[in-house]
A and B are shown apart, each in its own frame.
Chain A
Amino acid sequence: MAKDKAKIVVKDLNLWYGDKHALHNLNIEIQKNKITALIGPSGCGKSTFLRCLNRMNDLISSVRVEGEVVIDGKNIYDKDVDEVSVRKRIGMVFQQPNPFPKSIYENVAYAPLKHGSVKKGSDCDDLVEQSLKSAGIWNEVKDILKEPGTGLSGGQQQRLCIARTIAVKPDVILMDEPTSALDPISTEKIEALMLELKKDYTIVIVTHNMQQAARIADMTAFFHLGDLIEYDETEKIFINPTHKKTEDYITGRFG
């Protein structure tokens, strides 16, 4: 694990929901252009941790975060960091596909236009096309760009959401169980897409599906009751875990 390849360095991260201590002293380094999977039983804190990486937890008023999440040399919880700017650079894809009730084109173009990264016109058209191509959905939607994004199938919607995220040109894409609401064929397409995307992006994915982690992740972190139990290369975690708890979970003894 070469230090210079670390994209995100988490130091002593603690999180409370009101009085409930939900994440305990997490330390983890997430590497650039790799897929990192976060696994663990329900309520282990893996999704909460994911939301710490783009400060989505700020939206819940009872949440308190301590510790550091250093991205590109800057702690995103520093007072002089704007969470809106963090979310611009750290994109997120959710469990339920959530396209906006706008046209497919507008779904993708909305954020870049607002950020001022493109102007309306051919630049914007190019960006939309590029993003939809990167998300592997261009061929399916290129003739229906004016139609509402909510009219697509679940798997298409999720790829549209990925395109929408890519269009903002983030460095990191966080994915919160992106395929758990999809059928196997759509899931396969999205997994293939992720392997494609990791050339350009750092991807962190929360998944319930251990096979999925094994198939696509370079690194895997196992969470249990708010603790990071084990973090290593995926192969090592699945074949030869250090901790008993990890092994129990991997072999399906709980979860």
Chain B
Amino acid sequence: MSKIKKNKKNVFYDPSLKRRHFKSKLFKYFTLSSLIVSLAFLAIFFIDMVVKGSSAVQQTYVQVEVSYNEQSAENYRDAVDKKYLELLSRAVLREIPMQIKKNPSLLGTTKVAWMLADDQVDMYMKEYYYKISNKDLATLTELIENGRVEKKFNTIFFTHGDSKTPEYSGILSAMIGTILTLAVAMFVAFPIGVATAVYLEEFSEQNAWSEFLEVNINNLAAIPSILFGLLGLAIFINLFGFPRSSALVGGLTLALMTLPIIVVSSRAALRSVPATIRQAGYGLGLTKVQVVKDHVLPLAFPGIMTGSIIGLAHAMGETAPLIIVGMIAFIPDSPTSVMEAATVMPAQIFTWAGMPERAYIERTAAGILVLLTVLISLNAMAVYLRKKFEVKW
């Protein structure tokens, strides 16, 4: 339209349109740029997490001579040359006396080993802000020159639980805690959610009661998650006396939050099963329960699963209510039952994010990347399921 020239013969020439077309373009660019801004946020966010978290893939190790003798069996400070003490991870050194106790044949031996470095050394090697005394720094420089400092793949992050020393902390106990908590949540929410959906779609009549149920489920979905935490605290902990911080309490709380998601998606799945299937069942003389159980539910199952996976992903990222029921305790060892104190991935991220040591930042970001990877995989699985079993009636 910008090509419109002044043309006496052109009866459609209208100079006033120029401004309107300009405004129209401006409006389009405004909407486009808001979309670009949203996507840019998403990109910045992911790039930021990768940049902050990628250095956690490696962890610094220092090669030193470790001597297992009478003194070091009592005091780990004697296990290595004094000048290396500040460069090595306290958490690992502290285990030496225990190792000797467990395996007395070690006594009197020495070996050259790659020992986990202190978090400040690790920060130095990763070129972050570090705090090392000049004397230690000189020792470290010498070690580096001799090729005795190396960054290796960070297995600790995946094989250990939380620790007060950042270089020795990992996500294992939080992962186990997450699995236990979600297991409880789904064990409770899935059957109740599906049953509620079946009742509302297949059995209940359109009356005040079913309408009340429906409004209630809608509202439940909109209640801020932290209020579920208050419920968990007041009912499960104070009233029922379930152990605080346990996967049981956390799981039950999350179950109630996930319930509306499962109900809504299961109802949609049930509704998409055509009435002809039901009529065919009744035509064969089947009872309502038989029709629903043998014909309607199997057909709606993929849709129900999709919704449940999305609900699961939702529950997995939830933090606020779990903080209220105490799932932010310091948990170095993985819980072995749902009654034990546990923590979950997002709560672990929260705790690390609040730590003063610089070394926790990369671990927080790495934990976030792990969590996001799991969440995205779950959602991708849901989308795949939906695509695969999508039936056009």
The answer to whether B9 has its CB under 8 Å from any CB of chain A is yes
Q: How far, in whole Å, are A88 and B17 apart by their CA atoms in the complex?
A: 11
Cα(A74)–Cα(B12), bound, Å: 8
Q: Quick one: CB contact mask for A85-100 with B, threshold 8 Å, 1 for yes?
A: 1101100000000000
B99 to chain A, nearest CB (A): 73
Q: Which chain B residue shows the least CB distance to A114?
A: B20
Q: Does A81 contact B (CB under 8 A)?
A: yes
Interface string of A80-122 (1 = CB under 8 A from B): 1110111011000000000000000000000000111000000
Cα of A72 to Cα of B9 in the assembled complex, Å: 9
Q: Which B residues lie within 8 Å of A86 (CB)?
A: 12
B residues 13-39 touching A (CB-CB < 8 Å): 13-14, 16-17, 20-21
Query: Which residues of B sit under 8 angstroms from A74, Cβ to Cβ?
Result: 9-12
Task: List residues of chain B with CB within 8 A of the CB of A73.
Answer: 9, 11
B7 close to chain A: CB less than 8 A: yes
Instruction: Judge if B3 is at the interface, Cβ distance under 8 Å.
Output: yes
CA gap between A76 and B17 in the complex, in Å = 16
Chain A residues whose CB sits within 8 angstroms of the CB of B21 once the complex forms: 82, 84
Which chain B positions have C-beta within 8 A of A78?
10
Cβ distance B287 to chain A, nearest Cβ, rounded Å: 46
In the complex, A72→B11 CA distance in Å? Answer: 7
B20 touching A84, Cβ below 8 Å: yes
Distance to closest chain A CB from B7 (angstroms): 6
Partner of B12, one of A89, A114, A116: A89
Interface presence of A244 (CB below 8 A): no
Q: Which residues of chain B are near A72, meaning CB under 8 Å?
A: 11
Min C-beta distance of A72 to chain B, whole Å: 5
Contact with B along A57-80 (1 / 0, CB 8 A): 000000000000001111010111
Are B4's CB and A80's CB within 8 A? yes
In the assembled complex, how far is the CB of residue B9 from the closest CB belonging to chain A, in whole angstroms? 7
Q: Do the beta carbons of B3 and A85 come within 8 Å of each other?
A: no
A71 and B10 CA atoms in complex are apart in Å by 10
What is the bound-complex CA distance between A81 and B7, given in angstroms? 10
A95 CA to B292 CA in the complex, in Å? 45
Q: Is the CB of A82 within 8 A of B16?
A: no
B215 within 8 A of A: no
Residues of B within 8 A of A79 (CB): 3
Complex-state Cα separation, A242 to B72, whole angstroms:
116
Kindly state the interface size class of chain A when it binds its partner.
10 to 19
- Taking chain B's interface residues, is the majority helix, strand, or loop, or is none over half, making it mixed? loop
Check A82–B17 contact: CB distance below 8 A.
yes
In the assembled complex, the Cα of A79 lies from the Cα of B3 at a distance in Å of: 7
Any A CB within 8 A of the CB of B5: yes
Asked whether, in the complex, the Cβ of B1 is within 8 Å of the Cβ of A82, the reply is yes
Measured CB to CB, the nearest residue on chain A to B1 is A82
Total number of B residues with any Cβ neighbor in A under 8 Å = 15
User: Residue among B1, B11, B17 with the most chain A CB within 10 A?
Assistant: B11
What's the least CB distance linking A218 to chain B, in Å?
24
Contact of A80 among B7, B16, B17, B20 (CB under 8 A): B7
Within 8 Å by CB of A84, from B3, B9, B11, B17, lies B17
User: Which A residues touch B7, using CB under 8 A?
Assistant: 80
| CB–CB B9/A85 < 8 A | no
Closest-by-CB residue of A relative to B4 is A80
Residues in A whose Cβ lies below 8 Å from that of B20: 84, 114
Q: How far is the CB of A168 from chain B (nearest CB, A)?
A: 12
Q: Which residues of A are found within 8 Å of B12, using beta-carbon distances?
A: 74, 76, 81-82, 85-86, 89
Cβ–Cβ contact B11 & A80, under 8 A: no
How many Å lie between the Cα of A82 and that of B4 in the bound state? 7
Looking at the assembled complex, report how far the CB atom of B346 sits from the nearest CB atom of chain A, in whole angstroms: 44
Q: Please, which residue of chain B has its CB at the minimum distance from the CB of A79? A: B3
CA distance A72 to B14 in the complex (A): 15
How distant is A11 from chain B, measured CB to nearest CB, in Å? 17
Q: How far is the CB of B136 from chain A (nearest CB, A)?
A: 69
Residue from A81, A82, A89 whose CB has the most chain B CB atoms within 10 Å: A82
A86 vs B14: C-alpha distance in the bound complex, in angstroms?
10
Could you tell me the distance between the alpha carbons of A72 and B7 in the complex, rounded to whole angstroms? 14
Interface string of B55-74 (1 = CB under 8 A from A): 00000000000000000000
The answer to whether A85 touches B5, judged by C-beta atoms less than 8 angstroms apart, is: no
Query: A84 CA to B10 CA in the complex, in Å?
Result: 14
Q: Roughly how many angstroms separate A253 CA and B4 CA in the complex, as a whole number?
A: 49
Return the chain B residue nearest A88 by Cβ.
B14
Name the residue on B nearest A117 (C-beta).
B16
Q: How far is the CA of A79 from the CA of B10 in the complex (A)?
A: 11
- Which residue of chain B lies nearest to A115 when distances are taken between CB atoms in the complex? B16
Assess whether A80 is in contact with B3, with CB atoms less than 8 Å apart.
yes
Is B14's CB under 8 angstroms from A116's CB? Answer: no
**Residues of B with C-beta under 8 A to A84:** 1, 14, 17, 20-21
Enumerate 22 A-B pairs (CB-CB under 8 Å) in ascending A order: A71-B11, A72-B11, A73-B11, A74-B9, A74-B11, A74-B12, A78-B10, A80-B3, A80-B4, A80-B10, A80-B13, A81-B4, A81-B10, A82-B12, A82-B21, A84-B1, A84-B17, A84-B21, A85-B14, A86-B12, A89-B11, A115-B16
Tell me the B residues contacting A by CB distance below 8 Å.
1, 3-5, 7, 9-14, 16-17, 20-21
In the A-B complex, the 5 residue pairs with the smallest Cβ-Cβ separation, listed nearest first, are: A85-B14, A85-B12, A72-B11, A81-B12, A82-B1
Given contacts A82-B1, A82-B12, A85-B14, 15 further A-B contacts (CB under 8 A): A73-B9, A73-B11, A74-B9, A76-B12, A78-B10, A79-B3, A80-B10, A81-B10, A84-B21, A85-B12, A85-B17, A86-B12, A88-B14, A89-B11, A115-B16
